[in-house]
Structure 1
Amino acid sequence: MDFRDLQLFCHLATSLHFGKTSAAQFVSPSTLSRVIQRVENECGAALFVRNNRSVRLTHAGQELLEFAEPMLTEWRDLVSSLNQTSQQLTGELRFFCSVTASQSHLPQLLAKFRQQYSGVDFKLETGDPGLAVQKVLDGKTDVAIAINAPDLPVELHFQPLAKVPLVLAMPKRLTATHIDNIDWRNTPVIMPESGPTRRTVHHWFAEAGVRPHVYASVAGNEAIVSMVALDCGVGFVPRVVLEHSALQSQVNYIDVVNIEPYELGLCCLNTRRQEPLVQAMLQQGVN
């Protein structure tokens, strides 16, 4: 059980509302449910009684709350104390993220980090977001901006940053305003070769009962946008990719409300999360 799990548990134990805790802690309801189930499994007891209308603590949940709150307070005090010596940190931190994330999320993180840890050299590598997890597992980067997934290896620690919705990008000549207006039998689809978008899109097509006409499979969301701009077909991409694309004016897009958004976050090895440089970067993502 880690501090993030306890933090989510304590917030839910106070709010007694999964939706409010999900929004306040920037996690999806499904992620919150998995965390609570994991904590209950580790404790060997039910911590909440929940139904469609209410949530309340069990006796075991109250006992855990009384145990966890002082511990989290001591942890925050320790982190605050360690931060007082932050200017003494030196060394090199290797960081990996996609080109889009380097424009959308990294600047704020890095600005805060550089302000506090001016003695640390920051080495950035950009590439396909689908490579982020393996880069961390292989020890080729210390921290990465990655996308959470059900099969995220247990060796990794994931700290949520933001929810990233997916949209359907279309060539400029198409003016559909709703996903139901797409004639999938006659509309070619640009698919990602691998990664979380491919898994999510396959699941969406299966749920919708659609057998897509795949025109091409390409590496990276930016490549999908390029193919769409060339009128090769339509493709699902994170909205933030379109917002930071030089080709934004050459494509249209439709918001898709029934496709699961990405959970974007900082990722590192569990065995390294307490290392000073890694911990310093993780702290930048804590709201």
Structure 2
Amino acid sequence: MDYRPLTHFLALAEQLHFGRASDACHISPSTLSRSIRQLEESLGVTLFERDNRHVALTRQGQRFHTYARETLEQWQSVQRTLMEETRELVGEISIYCSVTASYSFLYQLLSEFRQRHPRIEIKLHTGDPADAIARVQSESEDIAITARPRSLPDSLAFKPLTTSPLVFIAPRDGGEWLPRTPQTPTPSQWRDVPMILSEAGLSRDHADTWFRALGISPTIYAQVAGNEAIVSMVGLGFGVGIVPRIVLDNSPLNDRVSVLPVKPELPHYDVGLCVLKRRVKSALIEALWSQLPS
């Protein structure tokens, strides 16, 4: 049974943007458009109003949205029941994480799981950690390895794996713009420092808060998707960056940068698994979720 058209429909209904929805489904925009068109033709109704600028659900699309979500949930429930009867779990779990998280946590997370459940296929997708929460909420991914946000949405469950501080990093060879006394920061020291920051996400939130407390707006040299690229750009001498310590420790370029002893220090944050609460009881997800201590 092919439930992919329903998955495509739900992704577009969530994103209301063909590019983002096709990325979430890991298909091309033309494939997504064709899938939606075929679904509309089979139903004999228009599910989305779309033009070059906007995508919106029609009244029929809103009604079909309820059906599509309930149908997929019922299908997953049937799968769970059948698998429980055979006592062998079969299916796939999609996991989203950063490149650093993939080699920091996956072995610990999946080595024993793989032995217990050899017929569960793992679909691994890597990318910007700032996108992790949204991908789980939109059901583009089953589970994400991510930092716990300041305010965890009520719909999500989170299990910690480790704690990592955020650190300021600078080129090891230095630069004339480097603060001379980072332990006692002043606006004049930091106003003209070229900063390389994440485009979005928890580390960017903490960085913005730190600079607001100092009373200045940072001079941003570059905004980057992905912490690994920040280490690279800092190592090349383009500016000062802010990254999780775990990223720096696992970077092949960590010998090209140094940690600035900045005060006050940026907060630590929890890194862990994130999943929709209503999906924790899914047999496949529960098998992975339950092997971690609460």
Q: Pick from 224, 229, 233: which aligns with 2:235?
A: 229
Match of 1:264 in 2: 271
- 1:180 aligns with 183
CA distance in 1, matches of 2:86, 2:148: 29
Taking the aligned partners of 1:222 and 1:283, their CA distance within structure 2 comes to 30
C-alpha change, 1:118 and 1:248, in structure 2 (3 Å) is same
Structure 1 residues 145-224: aligned runs within 5 Å = 145-174=145-174, 179-180=182-183, 183-224=189-230
Which runs of 5 or more structure 2 residues have no equivalent in the other structure? 1-83
State the TM-score, normalizing by the size of structure 2.
0.64
Q: How does 1:1-287 map to 2 (within 5 A)?
A: 88-174=88-174, 179-180=182-183, 183-254=189-260, 258-286=265-293
The answer (yes or no) to whether the contact 1:86–1:116 under 8 Å persists in 2 is no
Moved more, 125-134 or 246-255: 246-255
Secondary structure of 1:240's match? helix
Number of aligned residues? 204
* Distance verdict in 2 for CA 1:109–1:178, change over 3 Å: farther
**1:112: how far off?**
2.0
How far apart, in 2, do the equivalents of 1:103 and 1:143 lie?
16
**CA displacement 1:104-123 (0-9 Å, x = unmatched):** 11210011211221221111
Q: Cα gap change, 1:140/1:245 in structure 2, threshold over 3 Å: closer, same or farther? A: same
Q: 2:179·2:190 contact (CA, 8 Å) conserved in 1?
A: no
- Alpha-carbon distance change, 269 to 178 in structure 1, aligned in 2, over 3 angstroms: farther
Q: Which moved more, 1:201-210 or 1:99-108?
A: 201-210
The CA RMSD measured in Å over matched residues stands at 2.4
Q: CA deviation at 1:137?
A: 1.0
Q: Percent identity?
A: 41
Per-residue CA deviation, residues 67-123 of structure 1 (Å, 9 max, x unaligned), is xxxxxxxxxxxxxxxxx9997222111111110000111210011211221221111
TM-score, normalised to structure 1, is 0.65
Counterpart-to-counterpart distance in 2, 1:100 and 1:172: 22
Q: Which residue pairs with 1:56 in the alignment? A: none
Structure 2 CA distance for partners of 1:124 and 1:255, relative to 1, 3 Å: farther
SS in 2 for 1:152: coil
Distance 1:284 1:213, change over 3 A: same
Contact conserved, 2:150 with 2:202, CA < 8 A, in 1?
no
Does the C-alpha gap of structure 1 residues 200 and 87 become closer, same or farther in structure 2, counting only changes over 3 Å? farther
SS in structure 2 of the partner of residue 114 of structure 1: helix
Greater Rg by CA? 2
State the SS of the aligned residue for 2:246.
Answer: helix
1:94 and 1:123 in contact (8 A); partners too: yes
Inter-partner Cα distance in structure 2 for 1:284 and 1:238: 26
Q: CA deviation at 1:285?
A: 2.7
